[in-house]
């Protein structure tokens, strides 16, 4: 995770476009200023960042399913549940499944766990739009490479 740049996904572990699922991992930093205030003496990952990590994981899945032809933008978070604490140094595994894609929207269900223990879950809706700018698309291509997005999975 690189919290300063809001990059919450370190690597894609599995992307299955036939089943419309993705699994990613994110190493929570051992030290970061965010833990100084959340909470002193008891540092835990903020729920809003766990939700964002699930949204980013879902976004990479949608990008793959759509073959990078449209960009997902967060629209709605439903049923977000924080089920336990995520602490500095832990490896967060997030799994997401695409439930619906059509009419300009996509819906996923995502869950995050540490080992076998579920820590968070949510249903997330995204608006789908063309990439807003060629520079942004270039940035997304570079990020895909950095986190190990299997580009052969979307090659035609």
Model confidence over 13-40: pLDDT tens digits?
999 999 999 999 999 999 999 999 999 9
* 13 Cα distance to chain centroid: 12
Q: CA 87, CA 46: separation in Å to the nearest integer?
A: 10
100 is catalytic: no
pLDDT single digits (tens) 99-118: 999 999 999 999 999 999 99
Q: What is the pTM of this model?
A: 0.95
Per-residue pLDDT tens digits for 70-97: 999 999 999 999 999 999 999 999 999 9
Phi and psi (nearest 5°) for 60? -65, -40
Indicate whether 130 pLDDT > 70: yes
Could you tell me the residue range of the domain that residue 9 belongs to? 3-151
What token pair was written down for 39?
Answer: 């909470």
Which residue, 41, 40, 29, is CA-closest to 4?
A: 29
Q: Where are the alpha helices (DSSP H) in the chain?
A: 34-37, 47-65, 134-146
Q: Using DSSP, state whether 134 is helix, strand or coil.
A: helix
Residue tagged active-site, from 38, 100, 139, 145: 38
Task: Please state the domain count of the chain.
Answer: 1
Q: What is the pLDDT of residue 155?
A: 66
Percent of the chain with pLDDT over 90: 90
In a domain, 114, yes or no: yes
Residue 141, pLDDT > 80, answer yes
Tell me how far the alpha carbon of residue 116 is from its chain's centroid: 18
Rounded CA-CA distance 104/95 in Å is: 23
Q: Residue 152: pLDDT band by 50, 70, 90 thresholds?
A: confident
In this predicted structure, the answer to whether residue 143 has a pLDDT above a threshold of 60 is yes
CATH code for the domain of 112: 3.10.129.10
| Amino acid 56: pLDDT | 98
Whole-angstrom distance, CA of residue 129 vs CA of residue 116: 35
Q: The tokens of 11 are what?
A: 């690597």
Q: Is 2 a residue whose pLDDT tops 90?
A: no
Whether residue 69 is predicted with pLDDT greater than 60 in this model: the reply is: yes
Q: Is residue 156 part of a domain?
A: no
Q: Please enumerate in sequence order all residues whose Cβ is within 8 A of that of 21, keeping only pairs 6 or more positions apart, or say none.
A: 14, 15, 61, 95, 96, 97, 98
């Amino acid at each position: 995770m690189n919290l300063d740049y809001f990059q919450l996904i370190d690597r894609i572990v599995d992307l299955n476009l036939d089943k419309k699922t993705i699994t990613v991992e994110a190493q929570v930093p051992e030290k970061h200023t965010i833990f100084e205030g959340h909470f002193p003496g008891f540092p835990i990952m903020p729920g809003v960042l766990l939700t964002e990590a699930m949204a980013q994981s879902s976004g990479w899945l949608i990008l793959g399913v759509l073959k990078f032809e449209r960009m997902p933008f967060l629209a709605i978070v439903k049923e977000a549940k924080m089920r336990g604490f995520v602490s500095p140094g832990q490896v967060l595994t997030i799994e997401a499944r695409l439930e619906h894609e059509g009419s300009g929207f996509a819906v996923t269900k995502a869950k995050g766990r540490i080992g076998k223990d579920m820590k968070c879950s949510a249903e997330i809706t995204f608006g789908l739009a063309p990439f807003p700018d060629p520079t942004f698309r270039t940035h997304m291509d570079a990020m895909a490479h950095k986190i190990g997005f299997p580009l052969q999975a979307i090659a035609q």
